[in-house]
Structure 1
Amino acid sequence: MIIDRMQAEKKALEYINSITYFDGAYELVASKIREESDGWYFPYQSAEFLRTGDFNKSLVGNWPIFVSRDGQCVGPRRPGMPFVNP
């Protein structure tokens, strides 16, 4: 089954909420979401950094969350690299 971008975004949000201690700590950066032939890349950042611009609150070194078109692969992936399911 092929999923659409809205379903993929929901999966990406579920993933980032699963890697934090509380919901809403991280947010997707909507203006940087990227669609590729095999799925979508959803960059994310700390909610506090996005609100304040305080670099001390920013995430560094995090790869975007990749969601494959079939929805089976969800996790960090750098564009152009093979996916390894965490």
Structure 2
Amino acid sequence: MLTKQEAQECAVRYLSSSTESDGVERVILGDPVEAGSNWVFFYQGRGYVERGDLDDMLVGNMPIVVPKDNGVPYALDSQTDVDAQIDRLAQG
């Protein structure tokens, strides 16, 4: 089972592929949500968080789910309410 720190490292690696694609560095926002057998991470563009740079603000980004069993990380579905998705993850 992945610890919170190990899961965050996985989330950062997952987000780095997006940074390579568009040049916007991403940062994890606060502690993850523990949802059953998953960790859920919220993130935003580093330039927006640190300097308020609107060019680095990410709009429509969905939280990253990192399964505790070291499964493949993925983003939540943008068509469904985030809180409802997290609740479903927490219920298993």
With normalisation by structure 2, the TM-score equals 0.73
AA at the equivalent of 2:28: L
Displacement, 1:54? 3.6
Amino acid across the alignment from 2:74: G
Partner SS, residue 66 of structure 1: strand
Distance in 1 (alpha carbons) for counterparts of 2:20 and 2:65? 21
Coordinate RMSD, CA, aligned:
2.4
In structure 1, the partner of 2:25 is: 25
**CA gap 1:79/1:72 in 2 versus in 1, 3 angstroms:** farther
Cα 1:62–1:11 shift into 2, 3 Å: same
Please give the alpha-carbon distance, in whole angstroms, between the structure 2 residues aligned to 1:35 and 1:27. Answer: 18
Which ranges in structure 1 are unaligned for 5 or more consecutive residues?
none
Query: Equivalent residue for 1:75?
Result: 74
Separation of aligned partners in 2, 1:20 and 1:79: 26
Q: How many residues align?
A: 81
Q: TM-score, normalised by structure 1?
A: 0.78
Q: Where is the helix percentage greater, Structure 1 or Structure 2?
A: 2
Structure 2, unaligned runs of 5 or more: 77-81
Moved over 6 A (4+): none
Indicate if the aligned counterparts of 2:24 and 2:56 stay in contact, CA closer than 8 A.
no
The Cα of 1:55 is off from its aligned counterpart by: 3.8
1:42 paired residue number: 41
Preserved CA contact (<8 Å) 1:17 1:24: no
Q: SS of the residue aligned with 1:13?
A: helix
